Amino acid sequence: MNNEPNTKNSRAVYIAQLLSVLLIWVFVLVISFWILNLILLAIELNDAPGASVAISIVAIPVFITLASVLTYVFVGLHKEKHRTSTSNEEK
């Protein structure tokens, strides 16, 4: 019996996972840029940037943390997969 996963399916899953990691980082960067732009715009208009600063203090670290966790899981899964495939080849 063949325990190897279908390479076509495996490749599709890998691409989907990689795409999700890339998209979350694009999302984090765009949201961070947008919030920082709001702060700069408020300062330029001599407005109180309080709401933008309050949102950024919470939102930016949360988004960065979520993206980091997703990236950590992605890298960890593929390290483990590489490690198990290497040990299977040695047997």
Tens digit of pLDDT for each residue in 48-71?
A: 878 778 888 898 999 999 999 999
- Residue 17 in any domain: the answer is yes
CA distance 71 to 57: 22
Instruction: Find the mean pLDDT for residues 9-15.
Output: 88
User: Residue 8 CB: number of other CB atoms within 10 A?
Assistant: 8
- Residue 83 in any domain: the answer is yes
- Residue 1 in any domain: the answer is no
- Residue 32 in any domain: the answer is yes
Domain with 46, as residue range(s), is 7-90
- Residue 2 in any domain: the answer is no
pTM (2 decimals)? Answer: 0.71
Q: What pLDDT is attached to residue 86?
A: 63
Q: What pLDDT is attached to residue 91?
A: 57
- Residue 72 in any domain: the answer is yes
- What is the domain count for the chain? 1
Q: CA 54, 57, 63, 68: dihedral to nearest 10 degrees?
A: -170
Q: Considering Cα of 44, then 45, then 46, then 52, what sign does the dihedral take?
A: negative
